[in-house]
Amino acid sequence: MKRALVMLAFALPCWGQDLEQRATALEKELRCLVCQNQTLADSNAPLAVDLRNQIREQLAAGRSDREVVDYLVARYGDFVRYRPPFKATTVLLWAGPFLFLLGGFYLLARVLRRRRVPAPQLTSAERERAAKLLE
Amino acid sequence: MKRLGWTLGVFVALVALLAIGLRLNPREVPSPLIGKPAPAFDLPLLMAPDKRFSEREMLGQVWILNVWASWCPPCLAEHPVVMRVAQSGMAPVVGLNYKDAREEALPWLERNGNPYRLIAYDADGRIGIDYGVYGVPETYVIDRKGVIRYKHIGPLTADVVQQKVEPLLKQLAGQ
């Protein structure tokens, strides 16, 4: 009995810590919609406090990280996620930088090709003059 | 010459892109709730704490849900517009009093007038979260089947009512 109690006393804080870590990690991945460039972890807006409490409550109730994120996305949209999912509406967001990179390579290739001026062909008169100069 | 045209074209496209980007209001996050059933709730009434109200009671009619609080200055700014909408009889306006205190909300209504058919009292903001509320005031138009058809974030203006809310209410009434 005593041993069980001791074990419980050690187990509880561990469990709490794990939960705390998960909650903190989630809060850093989610946007506060009131001050839009802050995460839920950084923001002191009343809504951020409410949402942090919600996250903690739901994790404590045994929900997975995924379920908590889905809960918020269902209410506030993909915008709450700092790492938006890859789907039809976000294709441009994810692929855009690579498209720009490709475009840059294309322009670079074009410029370089244009610069490759063919080696000048000397006329025989010029060749003779050059030979004379070199002597 | 051709090269100049290209450069100019790219420049104009970039300016257009930035101009559009700058004109968008970053606070207007499109709600994922449009076209979805209004989240269920069962809340006490602001005026009568012993009575309750659920969104299901509005099934069968087109209605407006207006989220407000006495601590929110933009709510006061939009208040005359909400009053006008309610008086026009276009649709019943239900209030959702969000994270407010009764002893402040009630005098606020007395001072400014009460446009609401009834007011649900969301003291801890739980239902607000379900509705994706992040900046009061917010206004929802909900159709006969209980589906959210429109959401306006921030204070309602006469323009918004005229250009968005009114036509939508007419269209929904005709259905």
Query: Under a CB-based contact definition with an 8 Å cutoff, are residues B152 and B139 in contact?
Result: yes
Query: Under a CB-based contact definition with an 8 Å cutoff, are residues B126 and B40 in contact?
Result: no
CA proximity to A55, closest of A90, A35, A29: A29
Which chain A residues are Cβ-neighbours of B99 within 8 angstroms?
46
> Which residues 6+ apart lie within 8 Å of B10 measured at CB?
none
- C-alpha angle with apex A38: A35 to A44, nearest 5 degrees? 70
Instruction: Count how many Cα atoms sit within 13 Å of the Cα of residue B26 in the half-sphere of its side chain.
Output: 10
Any bridge partners for residue B140, and if so which?
Answer: B65, B151
Residue B163 inside a domain? The answer is yes
- Residues in A 116-135 with any Cβ partner in B closer than 8 A: none
- Tell me if B129 and A77 make a contact (CB, 8 A cut-off): no
Q: Please state the domain extents for chain A.
A: 1-85, 86-135
Q: Are strands B52-54 and B118-122 parallel, antiparallel or unpaired?
A: unpaired
Q: Is B39 exposed, middle or buried (0-12, 13-18, 19+ CB in 10 A)?
A: middle
Arithmetic mean of pLDDT, A54-73: 92
- pLDDT at site A7: 53
Q: Which amino acid is at A25?
A: A
Into how many domains does chain B fold? 1
- Tell me if B99 and A77 make a contact (CB, 8 A cut-off): no
Percent of residues, chain A, with pLDDT higher than 90 = 38
Name the CATH architecture for the domain at A1-85.
Orthogonal Bundle (1.10)
ipTM over 0.90: no
- Write out pLDDT tens, residues B85-112: 999 988 999 999 999 999 999 999 999 9
Residue B170 inside a domain? The answer is yes
Interface test with A, best of B129, B130, B153 (most A CBs within 10 A): B129
- Write out pLDDT tens, residues B140-169: 999 999 999 999 999 999 999 999 999 999
Residue B12 inside a domain? The answer is no
Q: What is the separation, in whole angstroms, between the first and last Cα of chain A?
A: 108
Enclosing domain of residue B155: 33-174
Residue B25 inside a domain? The answer is no
